[in-house]
Amino acid sequence: MDYKKRYEEWLNSSIIDDLTKEELRNIKDEEEIKDRFYKDLEFGTAGLRGIVGAGTNRMNEYVIAKTSQGFANTIINHGKEAVEKGIVIAHDVRFMSKEFTEISARVFAANGIKTYLFDGIRPTPMLSYAVRYLNTISGIVVTASHNPKQYNGYKVYWEEGSQILDNIADEILDEISKLDFKDVKKMDYNEAIEKGLIEILDDKLDKSYYKDTLNKAINDDIDKDINVVYTPLNGTGNIPVRHVLKERGFTNINVVAEQENPDPTFATVGYPNPEFVEAFEYAQKYAEKIDADLVVATDPDCDRVAMLAREEKGKYYVFNGNQIGALLIYYILNGLNDKNQIPENGAIVKSIVTGDLGKVIAESLNVKCYQTLTGFKNICSLPNIWDNNKEANFIFGYEESIGYVYGDHVRDKDGVVSSMMIVEMAAFYKKQGKSLVDVLYEIYNKYGFHKEHLMSIVLEGIEGSNRILRMMKYFRESEFNEFADLKVTESIDFKNGYKDIGASNVLIYHLEDGSWFAVRPSGTEPKIKLYIYANDKDEKIADEKVEKIKKDVLEKLYSVE
């Protein structure tokens, strides 16, 4: 349908409220109207994510309600037992998160599906835990994770506690496609509570989550006075991360005051993604002031975590996601091994665009490394399978974009347990007289210098989206024989799947010296991502390899207009 026709339909609809219509009438830029209405906000395996505002290509109460009705119909299609199990919904600190949560709950209640709600903001991993704890058929967390302030999202989980895969996403999308706004059922919020169709959870679930998280601790012979700066970046991590660190006995956790409390504007950070060092500005200044050993930051929904560690007074080393993952694998697996607690058929899982150092460490300790497509919906799909076939015992999952989970009480990346393990790890090595930078180089000297460069080319809007498509088409259709004077030994296109790994819009090129790189469009943001990896016994040579590959690949990408 033409975007202008959709725009007019909203203005003339008896369902759309007057404030929303006024917002639309005040838009004078034709391109803005086009961007809001040229398509429906896409529902995929990550659910919904988009800019908050009026329009079919925006996050608003009408899109949320229609999506929830389609989801409710899907649950009903799965039978009486699915309906009776109900659904649990959590939300973060963002604009409209609470409102979208209540609208969704009202829709599910109107469809006879019991809905559990938290009494306030919660981290995404607690939603994953809640699905398993309550034995619901599904769960939703209203969040846009680390996106800028103007975004929000609607992330969907299934009964195992992990994000939905294509099969369920396709069912929901099919049901949504059959609906108009007039088809949406809603029950009054207070009426739904009175009828027991909406239930506000008490603190038993929180306590159970904390207990299971604290049970993942490995060592207690550590320096519990380690000096740590923590920032939740004005998100959901403040209470849960500080709680578990306090319960673990850490006595010197210093929180960045300006970023302690919820703030949907993220005024002190702008782009609240700790994957980028800019997000550490306030935390690093505070760390320098108090000479902290370690700086930890979680993103707004507290499923990702990143860190800095002191090299010398006033100087901090910035770890990337691959390095943090390798350090955690090294610490956790060696800790379990020392206690003879590595399970039989122990396994870790990483994404196909995550570096190989964690895999090398795991295999040196007889722990198998499995690979999946990008995203924790895929990483956690394997332990879901292993629950039934007992092929492997899941220990740890991670990807380069600062997502980690240790243990199987949560089936998604978990910034709470990961923060606890990072602080424990740093405290363990500090007692041995080592910083985490020392330990990283200990790993490099043992396993080789695994170096990487990860970057994103941001291309917004309709034209940006089309240019990303042209970039991927150009690489697919060009039979490249070499990059940076290194022969291509294998090029893998995951478009139709590869071996036992499913289909995705990803290209990976393996080069003759063991280096490799990948290109893929982001599934949640307007960008194309480039991942480059090289390994050598000499650090300088490894870094040079990365730079040469980067230069060559970027020239080819930017040549596409």
Question: Model's pTM, two decimal places?
Answer: 0.95
What CATH architecture does domain 449-558 belong to? 2-Layer Sandwich (3.30)
Query: What are the residue boundaries of the structural domains of the chain, listed by start?
Result: 39-202, 208-445, 449-558
- Is 523 a residue whose pLDDT tops 90? no
Which CATH superfamily, name and number, covers 39-202? Alpha-D-Glucose-1,6-Bisphosphate, subunit A, domain 3 (3.40.120.10)
The residues that are catalytic are 145
Q: Does domain 208-445 have CATH number 3.40.50.1820?
A: no
pLDDT at 225 (0 to 100): 98
Average pLDDT of span 522-527: 82
- Is 44 a residue whose pLDDT tops 90? no
Q: Using alpha carbons, list the distances in angstroms from residue 252 to 133, 225, 295, 298, 308.
A: 32, 6, 12, 18, 16
Over residues 181-220, the pLDDT tens digits come to: 999 999 999 999 999 999 999 999 999 999 999 999 999 9
Residues in the chain: 561
pLDDT at 388 (0 to 100): 95
Question: CB count, 10 Å around CB of 557?
Answer: 18
pLDDT band at 418 (very low <50, low <70, confident <90, very high): very high
If you average pLDDT over every residue of the chain, what do you get? 96
Rama region for 400: left / alpha / beta (φ>0; ψ in -120 to 50; rest): alpha
Over residues 108-146, the pLDDT tens digits come to: 999 999 999 999 999 999 999 999 999 999 999 999 999
Q: Work out whether strand 403-406 and strand 393-399 pair parallel, antiparallel, or are unpaired.
A: antiparallel
- Report residue 250: phi and psi, to 5°: -75, 130
Same CATH fold assignment for domains 39-202 and 208-445: yes
- Is 524 a residue whose pLDDT tops 80? no
In 3D space, the residue among 409, 402, 396 whose CA is nearest the CA of residue 359 turns out to be: 396
Q: Which two tokens stand for residue 274?
A: 């700790």
The alpha-helical segments, DSSP class H, found in 26-149 are: 30-37, 61-77, 80-85, 97-110, 124-134
- Is 63 a residue whose pLDDT tops 80? yes
- Is 165 a residue whose pLDDT tops 80? yes
pLDDT at 354 (0 to 100): 97
- Is 510 a residue whose pLDDT tops 90? yes
pLDDT at 268 (0 to 100): 96
**Is 268:282 a contact under the CB 8 Å cutoff?**
yes
How many whole angstroms separate alpha carbon 468 and alpha carbon 466? 5
Query: How distant is the alpha carbon of residue 160 from its chain centre?
Result: 17
pLDDT band at 385 (very low <50, low <70, confident <90, very high): very high
